[in-house]
Amino acid sequence: METLSLLADGFAVSLLPINILIVVIGVTVGLFIGAMPGLGSVNGVAIVLPLTFIVPPTSAIILLAAIYYGAMYGGAISSILLGIPGASTAVATTFDGRPMAQQGKAALALIAAAVGSFVGGTISVILFTLFAAPLAEVALAFGPAEEFALVLLAFTTFVGLGGDDILKTVVMICLGLALATVGLDMISGQPRLVFMDLPGFYAGISFLVLAIGVYGIGEVLWTIEQSKTAPTVTPAKVTWAEFSAGLRILRRCWKTMTSGSLIGFFVGMLPAAGATPAALMAYGIARSSSKSPETFGKGNVEGVLAPETANNAASTGSMLPMLTLGIPGSPTTALLLGGMVMWGLTPGPMLFIEQPDFIWGLISSLYTANFAAVIVNIALIPVFVWALRMPFTVLCAVVLVLCIVGGFAPNGKMHDVWLILGFGAAGYLLRKAEYPLAPLVLALVLGPLMEKSFRQTLIAEQGDVFAFFQRPLSGTFMVIALLLFLFPVFKRLRDARRKPSLAE
Amino acid sequence: MLKSESLIALGLMGLSAYFMYYAVALPIGWVEGSGPGGGAFPFWLSFIMFLASAGILIKSLRTAAPSEPFFDPDMIGQVASVMAALVVAVALMPLLGTYIALPAFLIWYLKFYGRHGWVLTGSIVVGTLLVLFFFFEVTLRILMPKGITEPLFFPLYRIFF
């Protein structure tokens, strides 16, 4: 009941005309960014974040969350019309979305994607509302030891569950954490890692600089290399008949949508998982539980619904640990977290006590963002069809200029712009060599918290390392983290033992 | 010939060694009673990174080179030229000013690299200039570097500030 009244207070904030306007602008921008092949929510948020200083923090985060949502909806558009995922989160949408478009059912696929996204988004926001306050309450008891254990747990999920090369994941986490230590040592106040004595490094390396470099410049370089062959746009016309036919089909598919939402929400909460694996899992489950699994991959509407509900639910799910624990569940929420720190807010349970207007305004804006996104999405389908014909070079040019200016704007230093170019080139090369970039960005955002909580605990406990294991909560986190870290080792041992027996 | 994979692993090893070299300026050991010193975090993390990238290097030396090249030979020239153009544009920003460097980049990118017409190129350049000035400088009060073109802006400053 208390949650409901808090949510009602939140709506008083999010239904202000200015915030409704911001939500509509945000989802529209997000839809376009998501619809562009190659650019997804994380790119959109990285590029737009430096421009949000113009509005107060509550509106800024509502804008960014709306872009996040819009991009999740938009990813499906190019998956269906071009056959190229608009963002990695929409990969699974191409499996059935593309065949549907080729059979002339592009409009139906687009409507299914939009409505599926809406259902996934809404179910997950309701779950979010229910879980947020209790989780924050638990998190209030966290001291530095628990914070450290939780951050460690977040990183070990990448090692244990990430699916990328483990050594490469470890390199990226350590690189991000090492970059986070550049600047002044927070305990002694002494400068460290001031490379080549450049004064710009005294202020540290902002997560924004890394994010714009990797997700802005790096992404454009990557896309230029991929854009050898120009894709063809499938035309789509939405009529009322199509629209009502779409809604009728959707009524049959509530089971697929519910399971997609639940998978998305819970998988999305894990830092290493997120929307892409959630969408793939939801697709797999929808296919295996279907009565006619052979129609999947050939244009089954459920093959569009399952991943689209899941990836939207995952984007909401990934915000839950970010807001309640201060640990982001995805690279995009890592950027939101970095933004909140920049605006002077400390993400975590204290926000629920100190800034209830902010928190509940944001949560309620997720409901309005879902409404706005589904309406804007369906209304603008003709515009997206037109926009996807836009030559790719125009988009790249605008993004590159925005990266340069957006990198300069927050601190007014050319030093940052040079770093962005460096990170862009490095990010492009690392991505080509299949190094995962998400743990790098997460590590840079969480690095200061990790070091601070580690050293604070040790100072308080006179250097006793076992302090982390003695408190019940942090001890549990530490044990799970260690198990996750050792999980790949166990797996390899087991595989190694099996192989000789196969050879015999 | 070393593979690109091995070269990148070598580069990361070099980078972590470079970090370690800087990290030892502060105590990297255990300070009795208060835990690790100020250099410990960057040093030992870089150390782990060094070991992990050495592992990647060893692994890549053991496996055969992949059949397809690391870079797409048709496209790498384009990627490199865009990167070079970006470096030139950023280098020119503090000298000739943002309002010359960025339009020059856009004209190169759209007209000569993207082979678009002058109308499209021109409208994007003009649009960018207007957004830069009115959004960043006038609304957000962020002054972009102007270099030698600074005096040209004095009359505009007088109008808008």
Q: What is the ipTM of this complex?
A: 0.93
Task: Pick the residue of B34, B76, B113, B116 with the most A CBs within 10 A to test the interface with A by mutation.
Answer: B34
pLDDT given for residue A504 in this prediction? 39
Question: What does the alpha-carbon distance between residue A169 and residue B6 come to, in Å, rounded to a whole number?
Answer: 16
The angle subtended at Cα B68 by Cα B67 and Cα B72, nearest 5°, is 165
pLDDT at B32 over 90: no
Q: Model confidence over B71-126: pLDDT tens digits?
A: 877 788 889 999 999 999 999 999 999 999 999 999 999 998 888 899 999 999 99
Interface list for A 273-302 with B (CB within 8 A): none
Please count the residue pairs, one from chain A and one from chain B, whose beta carbons lie less than 8 angstroms apart: 179
B155–chain A nearest CA distance, Å:
22
pLDDT given for residue B1 in this prediction? 47
Mean pLDDT over all residues of chain A?
Answer: 87
A192–chain B nearest CA distance, Å:
7
A78: closest CA among A393, A385, A283?
A: A385
Question: How much of chain A, in percent, has pLDDT values that exceed 70?
Answer: 98
Residue B15, amino acid? L
Confidence bin at A375 (pLDDT 50/70/90): very high
Q: In A, which residues are within 8 Å of B8 by CB distance?
A: 429-430, 433, 435
Residue A89: how many CA atoms within 13 Å on its side-chain side?
38
Question: What does the alpha-carbon distance between residue A332 and residue A179 come to, in Å, rounded to a whole number?
Answer: 19
pLDDT at A31 over 90: yes
Interface list for A 149-178 with B (CB within 8 A): 165, 167-168, 170-171, 174-175, 177-178
A405 and B144: CB-CB below 8 Å? yes
Task: Pick the residue of A164, A166, A192, A420 with the most B CBs within 10 A to test the interface with B by mutation.
Answer: A192
Type and span of the H or E element at B17: helix B4-23
Q: In A, which residues are within 8 Å of B37 by CB distance?
A: 188
B110 and A393: CB-CB below 8 Å? yes
Q: Model confidence over A380-414: pLDDT tens digits?
A: 988 888 888 877 788 889 889 989 998 898 888 99
Question: What does the alpha-carbon distance between residue A99 and residue A324 come to, in Å, rounded to a whole number?
Answer: 41
Q: In B, which residues are within 8 Å of A171 by CB distance?
A: 12, 49, 52-53, 56
A193 and B23: CB-CB below 8 Å? yes
pLDDT given for residue B143 in this prediction? 87
Q: Which residues of A329-363 are buried (b: 16+ CB within 10 A; e: fewer)?
A: bbbbbbbbbbbbbbeebebbbebbeebeebbbbbb
* CB of A391 less than 8 A from some CB of B: yes
Interval B27-40 mean pLDDT = 81
